[in-house]
Amino acid sequence: MKLVRYGRIGKEKPGLIDDEGKLRDLSGVIGDLAGANLSDKVLRKIAKIPHDTLPLVRGTPRFGVPVGQVGKFIGIGLNYADHAAESNLPVPKEPIVFMKATTSLSGADDPVMLPKGSKKTDWEVELGIVIGTRARYVSEADAEKFIAGYCVVNDVSEREYQLERGGQWDKGKGCDTFGPVGPWLVTRDEVWNVDDLDLYLELNGKRMQTGNTATMIFKVPQIVSYLSQFMTLEPGDIITTGTPPGVGMARNRFLKKGDFLRLGIAGLGEQQQDVIGFQQF
């Protein structure tokens, strides 16, 4: 299934995309796509409902983050060997882990806002994992059971903040709007081979990133198992798993006001974002 949360910011309702690509309302079935509603039991219940009996949503509403009440937004760095090479950094022996602030989360097509004083804001198309069941000290063999599904993530990063300002990467990863997620959550039963998904990103119509999850250093089960040794993963936690080569840092080309991004992953949907200047909320 392709599950979504649609509507104005802070007022999103749960929905799904039916087999004809139409948006259906799920608010009569569940309160939100969050917490226990991401469990296999609830997802099976939703799957059994004849989707053409659900209310049809008219128009073209905004799609928000497809998961509500996100507790943790976790990043894995340098998880493609060719991206590590273009960054002039060694291939990691264990996953590099950082946190993206949950306040960075935004809908797939919401604007990306340059931080105040930004000089090196960059793009990164990535596969996102959404946890469906609490995971603590799980094995790689069992890791898939704890996953609700997958999504597209743009791990927007300010490289000066990340690499030139001392300390952890988090400073360059958690700015407002730096975490577009979606447009939808695709349940794991519909992703036949998560190790063979094409990724792409275009800037102003020019292809910047082309990759495939087959070249990930640490695969999805490894990542989930590894993280569960250090922290309890809760339903709704999002893990973004690294990016293929072609980022702005390697090209010495960073985002500026007026740029337009288009990115996606085969079977998981596409994002489109206008880049805007800093705005005080």
pTM: 0.96
Q: How confident is the model at residue 88 (pLDDT cuts 50, 70, 90)?
A: confident
Q: What percent of the chain has pLDDT over 70?
A: 100
pLDDT value for 281? 67
CB 246 within 8 A of CB 81: no
Q: How far apart are CA 157 and CA 63, in angstroms?
A: 22
pLDDT value for 167? 78
CATH topology of domain 73-276: Fumarylacetoacetate hydrolase; domain 2 (3.90.850)
In 3D space, the residue among 208, 217, 212 whose CA is nearest the CA of residue 267 turns out to be: 212
In 3D space, the residue among 217, 84, 221 whose CA is nearest the CA of residue 150 turns out to be: 221
pLDDT value for 81? 84
pLDDT value for 203? 98
Q: What is the mean pLDDT of residues 223-246?
A: 98
- In this predicted structure, the answer to whether residue 87 has a pLDDT above a threshold of 90 is no
Q: What percent of the chain has pLDDT over 90?
A: 92
pLDDT value for 168? 83
117-132 residue pLDDT tens? 999 999 999 999 999 9
- In this predicted structure, the answer to whether residue 220 has a pLDDT above a threshold of 70 is yes
Q: How confident is the model at residue 246 (pLDDT cuts 50, 70, 90)?
A: very high
Domain ranges of the chain: 2-53, 73-276
Nearest 5 degrees, angle CA 13-CA 16-CA 22? Answer: 110
Averaged pLDDT score across all residues of the chain: 96
- In this predicted structure, the answer to whether residue 276 has a pLDDT above a threshold of 70 is yes
